[in-house]
C-alpha cells in the first residue's frame, strides 16, 4: 500500500514496521506463523564475532508495564550466521534484512561488519553500541561520544552498506552522542535500546536476574523513547529509527511525528508473536481516523510545529 511506504537510508520500505533485534531471532519461528514479508524489514539477532552462550539464568524478570532481560547477546557467531542463518532466511524472506552487530572491542565490530558487508541480503548494518546486558562491551561504547564516534568511523571504513548506530538511553546527553556518530559518518541512528533496571526477590533479598541488572523494555518506556527520538531527530540530519515500548499503530504514528522514518517493535513481539502483523494491518484505519494520507507526510511534524 503506497500510503504506508517510507525509506531508510535510501532503501525503500513497504511500511515502517521493523521487529527489533533480540525479539525476532532470525525470523524463522515467526515465518512459521505468518508471511513475514508483510514487514518493512527486520533486525536479526545481535551478532558478534564469536559465538556466545549469553548470561547465566535466570535472564528474564517481569515488571509492571514491561520486562527485564539479561540474555547477554546469545548468538552463534557471525560465521555461523553467514553459513547457516542467512541462506535459510532467503527461503522465507525476500527483502533486504537489517544485521545487528555487537562487539567487545573496536576490532570485533570491524571484523563482524566486514564479513556481513559481503552478504547480498543484508541491506543495513545496525551497529549496537548500547547493550546494557554484557560486561566489557556493548553499552560502554555508547555512553561516550568519542567512543561511539570511534566505532562508527571504524565500521564505516569496511562497509559500503548503510550504517545505523543504535544508541543507549542510559546517558546524560543522547544528542551529543548521536551528533558524534553523525560526524563520524553514520548513515542513520536507531534509539532507544533498553533502560537499565533491576528487580529483587522479596523472599531471598537477592536480585531476580543472575546478571543482577538487565534491560527494561515494554510500554512503560515509550514516553522516554519518544522524547529521545524527538531530541535526536531535531539535532541530526540523518534518518532516525525510533523504538522503545512500541506496541500499536498509534505508537508508530507518534514515533514518526517525533521524527522517526521507521519504527522498531521489540518487547511486544515477546508478548504477542503477531504484534507487528497486527500493527501493519491496523495502520490504515488509524491513519484514516486522524486524517493522515501518507506516513511520509507526518515524519517530524512535532518538530516542525515547534519551528
Mean pLDDT in order along the chain per 10 residues (307 residues): 96 98 96 98 96 89 91 91 97 98 92 97 94 50 87 97 96 96 98 95 96 94 98 97 98 98 97 97 98 98 73
| Entry pTM | 0.94
Strands 214-217 and 66-69: antiparallel
CB atoms under 10 Å from CB of 250, counted, come to 15
- What pLDDT is stored for residue 100 in this prediction? 97
Report, as residue numbers or ranges, the catalytic residues. 131
What angle, rounded to 10 degrees, do the helices at 145-156 and 106-117 form?
A: 30
- Is residue 190 within 8 A of residue 130, CB to CB? The reply is no
- Is residue 138 within 8 A of residue 129, CB to CB? The reply is yes
Measured between alpha carbons, how far is 302 from 307 in angstroms, rounded to an integer?
9
Mention every residue, 6+ apart, whose C-beta is less than 8 A from residue 118.
none
Domains and their CATH numbers in the chain: 2-306 (3.20.20.70)
C-alpha torsion sign, points 77, 98, 171, 226: negative
Measured between alpha carbons, how far is 20 from 2 in angstroms, rounded to an integer?
23
Amino acid at each position: 500500500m503506497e500510503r504506508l511506504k517510507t525509506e531508510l537510508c535510501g532503501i525503500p520500505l513497504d511500511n515502517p514496521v521493523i521487529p527489533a533485534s533480540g525479539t525476532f531471532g532470525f525470523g524463522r519461528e515467526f515465518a512459521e506463523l505468518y508471511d513475514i514479508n508483510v514487514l518493512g524489514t527486520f533486525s536479526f539477532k545481535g551478532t558478534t564475532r564469536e559465538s556466545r552462550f549469553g548470561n547465566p539464568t535466570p535472564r528474564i524478570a517481569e515488571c509492571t508495564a514491561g520486562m527485564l532481560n539479561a540474555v547477554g547477546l546469545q548468538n552463534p557467531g557471525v560465521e555461523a550466521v553467514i553459513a547457516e542463518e542467512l541462506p535459510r532466511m532467503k527461503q522465507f524472506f525476500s527483502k533486504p534484512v537489517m544485521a545487528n552487530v555487537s562487539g567487545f572491542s573496536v576490532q570485533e565490530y570491524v571484523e563482524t561488519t566486514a564479513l556481513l558487508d559481503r552478504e547480498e541480503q543484508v541491506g543495513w548494518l545496525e551497529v549496537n553500541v548500547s547493550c546494557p546486558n554484557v560486561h566489557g562491551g556493548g553499552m560502554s561504547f555508547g555512553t561516550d561520544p568519542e567512543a561511539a564516534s570511534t566505532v562508527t568511523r571504524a565500521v564505516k571504513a569496511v562497509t559500503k552498506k548503510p550504517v545505523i548506530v543504535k544508541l543507549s538511553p542510559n546517558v546524560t546527553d543522547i544528542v551529543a552522542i548521536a551528533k558524534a556518530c553523525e560526524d563520524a559518518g553514520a548513515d542513520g541512528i536507531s534509539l532507544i535500546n533498553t533502560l537499565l533496571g533491576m528487580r529483587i526477590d522479596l523472599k531471598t533479598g537477592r536480585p531476580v536476574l543472575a546478571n543482577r541488572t538487565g534491560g527494561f523494555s515494554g510500554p512503560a518506556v515509550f514516553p522516554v523513547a519518544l522524547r529521545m527520538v524527538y531530541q535526536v531527530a531535531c539535532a541530526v540530519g540523518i534518518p532516525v529509527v525510533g523504538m522503545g515500548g512500541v506496541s500499536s499503530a498509534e505508537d508508530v504514528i507518534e514515533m514518526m511525528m517525533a521524527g522517526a522514518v521507521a519504527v522498531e517493535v521489540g518487547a511486544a513481539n515477546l508478548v504477542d508473536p503477531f504484534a507487528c502483523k497486527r500493527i501493519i494491518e491496523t495502520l490504515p484505519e488509524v491513519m484514516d481516523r486522524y486524517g493522515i494520507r501518507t506516513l511520509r507526510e507526518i515524519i517530524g511534524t512535532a518538530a516542525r510545529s515547534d519551528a
